[in-house]
Structure 1
Amino acid sequence: MNTLCEERDDAYDIPLDLLDVSEVKRFQDDTMWPYFKRLRREDPVHYCKKSPYGPYWSVTKYHDIVAVDTNHEVFSSEPAAAVSIVDVTEEYRLPSFIKMDPPKHGEQRRAISPIVGPENLAKLEHLIRSRAKAILDGLPRNEVFNWVDQVSIELTTQMLTTLFDFPFEDRRLLTYWSEVANNVPQSAHDIGSWDRRRAILSECLAYFTRLWRERIDAEPRADLISMMAHSPATRNMEPREFLGNLVLLIVGGNDTTRNSISGGMWFMNQNPNELRKLRANPLLVSGAVSEIIRYQTPVAHIRRNALANTVIGGKMIRKGDKVIMWYISGNRDDEVIEKADSFIIDRKNVRQHLSFGFGIHRCVGNRLAELQLKILWEEILARRLNVEVVGEPERVASNFVHGYSALPVRIVD
């Protein structure tokens, strides 16, 4: 019996009131799916009384998730200053606009949103394409390499250097800080402690503080540091808030897009009919990108905190309760998305997914993420690259960022 079959049996053997879908190992093994399927069918708004993260509500169906995500008056981002299921003590909290309610959330978001506006995206398109071409043309042929490192990370990290106007030669620091920010002690093993994590992120703060001081004394420019330095909403941030927003922008601009790039290659190899369909009709690439983002769901969940007693899915949620919106489950809700467990690049309503969220916190960089994936796949198709996955992907140990650390591939001439 394979692991997934074992997990499927286990998912239905566990008493419902003891089921905890947050277990990190299942995400790393990619065996969490039957647990979410059971909750969607039997208890879509489910209370877990005991977990490594304390008690919490799981919201697992599409429309219930939208109802929570679009009601920031009741479901707040703010009281616990946490965006994930992990509770963070005051000592280690990093405020950022994703962890804020109006009006401060909107003010800080607007300070940086022009960088991903239509006019700037049009300017970035040529740069992204030239970098995608250079990365693909420089890949080894007929030998195994790690697609995650040489393509997914490299393309997205180069994009971050442009958005921050960050020294290109130090770009892998951005990758490192992103991984440290996500690998909190409860869900990973290479950081070791909250103090170690804080020390490493303090190095990130020191580096960016030097850039801030340069930009604040110069004329405003079209990069994220200059935008924050010159905006009334962000120029007087305390150091921890500056670091929190840096972490948000680094993770948002790196991990999410990078894991969709990796996942897309994995899905195409696992579904060769869809790849043949795309090669036969490259005009399907935009739909393919949306389907990749849905199927991957690079951010598995987002947290809210109830400000008042309220009812969702027939369940009374009490003031102060922790509410987890499992985007990764809502994107497999077959009552909304037909054949939701199947990867179909030309499905109807292909953009109908939860991966970017809804409401005031909808991902500010969603169009940039789509643009990078679209260009990369256009260039793969233009080169007729035959990229074969030659082993199982290695997935990160996280129930928050749904991603990969390695994907072994070979380009066959």
Structure 2
Amino acid sequence: MATRAIDFAAARANEPPHLAAARERAYAMPLDDFDMLDPDLWVNDTHWPYFERLRDEDPVHYHANGRFGPYWSVTRYADIMAVDTNHAQFSSDAHLGGITAKDMDKDFILPMFIAMDQPKHDVQRKAVSPIVSPGNLANLEVLIRERAQAIFDGLPRGEVFDWVDRVSIELTTQMLATLFDFPWKDRRLLTYWSDMATADETIPGNPTKAEREAIMLECLIYFTGLWNARVNEPPRGDLVSMLAHNPATRDMIPMEYLGNLLLLIVGGNDTTRNSITGGLTFMAANPGQWTKLKANPALIESAVSEIIRYQTPLAHMRRTALVDVEMGGKTIRKGDRVVMWYVSGNRDERSIADPDSFIVDRARPRQHLSFGFGIHRCVGNRLAEMQLKIVWEEILKRFPTIEIMGPPARVPSAFVKGYASLPVRIPA
């Protein structure tokens, strides 16, 4: 396939220097030397030109020397959809590796319904799905708005603070504590466990494998206490009670309980948390879109979907081939690791018009891959959208501008595409 013609002089003029330099490296390097799991690409936000080249030249690409072993990168929107909806040929099973490019540790496997195939997946997912029923979402909307209002009204004026900590983490952690009916004073443990569940022990500064597993077991011990209290009470509307009383989940082994807890914690935390921060950075980088939204608040729902597409808070999901599969002129062999790069599919111009532009009134804003497709589509997608909608409604009521005072610190992860901090100031 022909290589995209790149005007590097124009790239230098239109892109930040670090991204223009990354583009030159990406187009000078042999494709066989690409490893999209390299944490430097993610902490520096320089993965974009690599995916651009893969989409153009080798959209189903085999990485023989990946960070965690060989894997296939699927980078175009249509191909990702084909894998994500083909549950007969591509497995999510934890015992085959799970849903991330890095295999689950064989001595610490955490079964969870997103890392299960049919029929067990559906019966466990249904155990918790009432938490996001339309009726329950209507009840939660009032509570989320009250909490968002309190958080925004309590922010300092005229001084620099960390948006990630004061807004993104606090709002999502409060929501998680409500969904689990988790002790309020300990709610930041949920954020901590979420971060530890997705931490890569091979990155300097992160916990070792043994330390991380010990932290996960501390989570299990804490939640076992909540389970033991609620299993002997009448069923309630929180996630722990739902798991404890549903016939499909009440007899789970401890590691399966832990797996489902971590799935719900990470799923309830990362999508919303990082989209709240991402949305603010996108508005600041695109002042015309921010002006458009302020002039027409009816665009908020469209803007929320565009934020989720543009951020893509989970960069990839992984499957394992159950049979030999032909795709893109390649043969994916049974047992091969297949990585669906949602972050790349969301920028595929073959399926999304002008995908590199942030457009709050995009014609088809919900056409994105960020929630996945098929049986594993994010169970809490409507809750995430509702939280973001409320966030932007309340921001528009209060803040004509929020100044970003420095670049964000990004998470060095090819799975959670997130932010560690973002310095901002609200003018006095």
TM over 0.5: yes
CA contact (8 A) 1:82 1:88 kept: yes
Deviations 1:322-342 (A, max 9, x none): 000000000000111111001
Match of 1:196 among 211, 214, 229: 211
Asked if 1:324 corresponds to 2:346, the answer is no
Please tell me the residue identity of whatever aligns with 2:382.
Answer: R
Q: Please, what is the CA RMSD of the aligned residues?
A: 0.9
Deviations 1:304-334 (A, max 9, x none): 0000001122211110000000000000001
Alpha-carbon distance in structure 2 between the residues aligned to 1:339 and 1:316: 31
Match of 2:134 among 91, 104, 118: 118
Where does residue 141 of structure 1 map in the other structure? 157
CA contact (8 A) 2:113 2:125 kept: yes
Asked if 1:282 corresponds to 2:297, the answer is yes
Asked if 1:51 corresponds to 2:66, the answer is yes
* Residues paired across the two proteins, number: 412
CA contact (8 A) 2:399 2:426 kept: no
Where does residue 111 of structure 2 map in the other structure? 95
Structure 2's unaligned 5+ residue stretches are 1-11
Tell me whether 263-272 or 383-392 shows the greater mean CA deviation.
383-392
Please tell me the residue identity of whatever aligns with 2:334.
Answer: K
Match of 2:37 among 14, 22, 25: 22
Q: What is the deviation of 1:17?
A: 2.0
Asked if 1:239 corresponds to 2:242, the answer is no
Asked if 1:65 corresponds to 2:80, the answer is yes
Q: What is the deviation of 1:401?
A: 0.1
CA contact (8 A) 1:305 1:320 kept: yes
Alpha-carbon distance in structure 2 between the residues aligned to 1:390 and 1:171: 28
Structure 1's unaligned 5+ residue stretches are none
Q: What is the deviation of 1:190?
A: 3.2
Asked if 1:270 corresponds to 2:289, the answer is no
Q: What is the deviation of 1:385?
A: 4.2
Tell me whether 132-141 or 189-198 shows the greater mean CA deviation.
189-198
Alpha-carbon distance in structure 2 between the residues aligned to 1:17 and 1:29: 21
Alpha-carbon distance in structure 2 between the residues aligned to 1:315 and 1:412: 55
Calculate percent identity across the aligned residue pairs. 61
Deviations 1:157-178 (A, max 9, x none): 0000110000111110001011
Tell me whether 392-401 or 188-197 shows the greater mean CA deviation.
188-197
Please tell me the residue identity of whatever aligns with 1:196.
Answer: E
**For residues 160-175 of structure 1, what are the structure 2 equivalents within 5 Å?**
160-175=176-191
Q: What is the deviation of 1:351?
A: 0.5
Partner SS state of residue 46, structure 1: strand
Alpha-carbon distance in structure 2 between the residues aligned to 1:92 and 1:240: 8
Match of 2:200 among 156, 173, 184: 184
Alpha-carbon distance in structure 2 between the residues aligned to 1:132 and 1:189: 35
Deviations 1:138-163 (A, max 9, x none): 00000000000000000000000110
Q: What is the deviation of 1:92?
A: 1.8
Alpha-carbon distance in structure 1 between the residues aligned to 2:267 and 2:300: 23
Where does residue 409 of structure 2 map in the other structure? 394
CA contact (8 A) 1:184 1:197 kept: no
Please tell me the residue identity of whatever aligns with 1:15.
Answer: P
Alpha-carbon distance in structure 1 between the residues aligned to 2:241 and 2:346: 36
Q: What is the deviation of 1:5?
A: 1.5
Where does residue 342 of structure 1 map in the other structure? 357
CA contact (8 A) 2:97 2:320 kept: no
**For residues 27-42 of structure 1, what are the structure 2 equivalents within 5 Å?**
27-42=42-57
Tell me whether 291-300 or 189-198 shows the greater mean CA deviation.
189-198
CA contact (8 A) 1:81 1:95 kept: no
Alpha-carbon distance in structure 1 between the residues aligned to 2:311 and 2:381: 14
Q: What is the deviation of 1:248?
A: 0.5
Partner SS state of residue 96, structure 2: coil
**For residues 370-381 of structure 1, what are the structure 2 equivalents within 5 Å?**
370-381=385-396
Partner SS state of residue 58, structure 1: strand
CA contact (8 A) 2:270 2:416 kept: yes
Alpha-carbon distance in structure 2 between the residues aligned to 1:312 and 1:235: 40
Q: What is the deviation of 1:189?
A: 3.0
Where does residue 158 of structure 1 map in the other structure? 174
CA contact (8 A) 1:144 1:410 kept: yes
CA contact (8 A) 1:92 1:194 kept: no
Please tell me the residue identity of whatever aligns with 1:90.
Answer: K
